[in-house]
Amino acid sequence: MIGPLLISLYVFVLAIFIGFEVIAKVPPLLHTPLMSGSNAISGITIVGALISAGSGHTGVSAFLGFTAVIFATINVVGGFLVTDRMLEMFKKGKK
Amino acid sequence: MENITYIAYLISAVCFILGLKKLSSAKTARQGNILSGIGMLIAIAVTLLDKQIIDFTFIIAGIVVGSAIGAIAAKKVKMTDMPQMVAVFNGFGGGASTLVALAEFYRFTTTPEVNVSITLVLSLLIGTVTFTGSFIAFAKLQGLMKSAPVVFKMQQFVNILLFLAIVVLGVLFVIQPSSGLELILVIAISAVLGLLLVIPIGGADMPVVIALLNSYSGLAAAMTGFVLNNYILIISGALVGASGIILSNLMCIAMNRSLINVLFGKVGFDASAGGGEKGERKQVTRYTPDDAVMMLENAGSVIIVPGYGLAVAQAQHVLQEMASLLEKNGTEVHYAIHPVAGRMPGHMNVLLAEANVPYDKLMEMDAINEDFQNTDVALVIGANDVINPAARTKKDSVLYGMPILNVDQARTVIIVKRSLNPGFAGEDNELFYGDKTMMVFGDAKKIVTDIANLLKG
């Protein structure tokens, strides 16, 4: 029987390979938006932060969760918006 | 309900992967970013429905504050300051991972299993190193602290000691995971470690460091995913981790350095490197913008090679104006972008896109290097090391082996530069003294403006 840790490890390793395959095809032209965009994706920790902040604990855990929500939201909102702002500027030439 | 949550997370993961895939073309890139954003919204929405969440006070407050800061920063930031911005966001991502993992520890009601304890320690280590390391990178890029490497005796030794201390504390915690004291110490020491790992890295190497920290912020999220047993964190973290590794590697290849050398090599602070030739002062002819205009007006094809000096002088917009004038005159104009042009991967493309240069004019090095030999004028603005032929010929040079733009193969080379000073590598550039080279000294913005005005007149 495969344990939960091993399943996680399978998912992790396979996702890294998908990451390499997909990202190797991004042209240098778009490397800065790639960085800010993938950065926004790493703000996915917000999912964990929401549960810590909202689980009804009042002590340290809630405070840590609250701060984590702020940090992760900055990461997510700022990351996606700034990436969009950059990509909007990339325009093809006329004719 | 749990199944619905997990299916929603799977949809989010697919959105992220497809979103990144759409970044492979400038046409679909914006759509891709929006798709990733939708994936994030789905993940957040379904998490808010989780039955563990019973109180929304902190959540709403946190989201409001975080969104406001993130949105204002994203709207206000100048494109030249993008590296700092990404560094700070990386830092917040890493910090969030650390906080979530620590909060999870305080929520444990039973003794955690060994695998959870191990990944918890790793999450704290990587997340905290990312946090403090990113803020040092920010301070260096923003000019709040000197960008030159800060080194002291036994630095590597101290780093190793700190790392060993974290390992020992981690092992203690895994054996007896009852008190949080070990974890607090792990965070404190990791914070110092993050700081010490970034201070010895010079300004020119910052692109690599930011890409690496990007990778760390992903790995920290993945480790937190292991702690929470949450696959969406693991998948997203792995994707970002891979992205950061690819980019740091590309930057290292473009600079002809190994990652180890960038992180521990302390290159860039020794100004005397390559100084052996200082004795003989070679003659260089000074040309004026008028001379440059004469060449440009008669050129059928021009390749512009922009370096960071262009961005420092804020000359992108006037450069685009000048290029349009040349095109009106019937000249074919392209831009050659070296992978390390700018302060982060792909930075120069963003700066020129902001100045309305169409992206199909922006050529990457491998796509344009063959074309220099059939080009009338190569116009170099504020670039140095990336066009230095010593990278091909001079075996003892630090540049030797670095891929460069074949500017020297163009029929005429016009170089706009403030002085003859060598670039970051400290290597003199023989191209400055070549027969077909015209050196035009001065501030990039002023010279390009002069050229544009003369072209108009």
Is B411 inside a domain boundary?
A: yes
Asked if B214 and B236 sit in the same domain, the reply is yes
Residues A72-91 as b/e (b if ≥16 CB within 10 A, e otherwise) read bbbbbbbbbbbbbbbbebbe
> pLDDT by residue (tens digit) across B58-105?
999 999 999 999 999 999 999 999 999 999 999 999 999 999 999 999
pLDDT for the residue B153:
79
> pLDDT by residue (tens digit) across B33-47?
999 999 999 999 999
How many angstroms away from the CA of B69 is the closest CA of chain A? 6
> pLDDT by residue (tens digit) across B332-375?
999 999 998 888 899 999 999 999 999 999 999 999 999 999 99
Q: Which of B24, B50, B103 sits opposite A25 (nearest CB)?
A: B24
> pLDDT by residue (tens digit) across B302-343?
999 999 888 888 899 999 999 999 999 999 999 999 998 888
Is B27 inside a domain boundary?
A: yes
Asked if B296 and B175 sit in the same domain, the reply is no
Write the CB contacts of B113 (distance below 8 Å, at least 6 apart in sequence): none
Asked if B381 and B325 sit in the same domain, the reply is yes
Inter-chain residue contact A77 with B66, CB threshold 8 Å:
yes
Is B269 inside a domain boundary?
A: no
pLDDT for the residue B373:
94
Question: What is the torsion angle, in degrees rounded to the nearest 10, for the CA atoms of residue B116, residue B118, residue B119 and residue B121?
Answer: 120
Q: How far is the CA of B102 from the CAs of B98, B165, B377, B405, in angstroms?
A: 6, 19, 59, 49
Q: Which of the listed residues B12, B42, B76 is the one where a domain comes to its end?
A: B76
Task: Name the closest residue on chain B to residue A22, using Cα atoms.
Answer: B21
Nearest to B90 by CA among B220, B279, B265: B220
Asked if B259 and B290 sit in the same domain, the reply is no
pLDDT for the residue B281:
58
Q: Which of the listed residues B202, B232, B264 is the one where a domain comes to its end?
A: B264
Check which CATH number belongs to the domain holding B350 and give it: 3.40.50.1220
How many angstroms away from the CA of A1 is the closest CA of chain B? 17
Contact B427, B390 (CB under 8 A): yes
Give the pLDDT band (50/70/90) at residue B270: very low
User: Which of the two residues, A92 and B126, has the higher pLDDT score?
Assistant: B126
Nearest to B59 by CA among A44, A75, A15, A73: A73
Contacts of A62 in chain B (CB under 8 A): 58, 103
Asked if B259 and B281 sit in the same domain, the reply is no
Give the pLDDT band (50/70/90) at residue A56: confident
The pLDDT > 90 percentage for chain B reads: 67
Inter-chain residue contact A54 with B54, CB threshold 8 Å:
yes
Whether B385 is catalytic is yes
Asked if B255 and B286 sit in the same domain, the reply is no
Give the pLDDT band (50/70/90) at residue A61: confident
Q: Considering its fold, how many domains does chain B have in total?
A: 3
Mean pLDDT score of chain A, rounded to an integer? 92
Which of A63-72, B149-158, B418-427, B446-455 shows the lowest mean pLDDT across its residues?
A: B418-427
pLDDT above 70: residue B275: no
pLDDT above 80: residue B265: no
Is B400 inside a domain boundary?
A: yes
pLDDT for the residue B370:
94
Asked if B233 and B301 sit in the same domain, the reply is no
How many angstroms away from the CA of B219 is the closest CA of chain A? 9
Task: Name the closest residue on chain A to residue B365, using Cα atoms.
Answer: A28
What is the average pLDDT across B42-54? Answer: 91
pLDDT for the residue A95:
53
What is the average pLDDT across B436-454? Answer: 93
Is B130 inside a domain boundary?
A: yes
Inter-chain residue contact B99 with A49, CB threshold 8 Å:
yes
Give residue B156's identity as a one-letter amino acid code. Q
Residue with the two structure tokens 């444990």: B108
Residues B13-26 as b/e (b if ≥16 CB within 10 A, e otherwise) read bebbbebbbbbbeb
Is B272 inside a domain boundary?
A: no
Asked if B42 and B166 sit in the same domain, the reply is no
pLDDT for the residue B331:
94
Give the pLDDT band (50/70/90) at residue B419: confident
Asked if B9 and B112 sit in the same domain, the reply is no
Q: Which of B93, B243, B359 sits opposite A23 (nearest CB)?
A: B243
Asked if B199 and B130 sit in the same domain, the reply is yes
Is B398 inside a domain boundary?
A: yes
pLDDT for the residue B376:
95
How many angstroms away from the CA of A25 is the closest CA of chain B? 6
Q: Which of B44, B71, B103 sits opposite A68 (nearest CB)?
A: B103
> pLDDT by residue (tens digit) across B278-310?
445 577 888 999 999 999 999 999 999 999 888
Asked if B13 and B120 sit in the same domain, the reply is no
Contacts of A82 in chain B (CB under 8 A): 73-74, 77, 82, 85
Asked if B132 and B244 sit in the same domain, the reply is yes
- Interface pTM, i.e. ipTM: 0.96
Rounded to 5 degrees, φ, ψ at B10 are: -65, -40
Task: Please pick, among B385, B408, B428, B450, the residue that the annotation labels catalytic.
Answer: B385
Domain extent for B4: 1-76
pLDDT for the residue A1:
63
Q: If you ran DSSP here, which 8-state letter would residue A27 be given?
A: -
Beta bridge partners of B306: B381
Is B53 inside a domain boundary?
A: yes
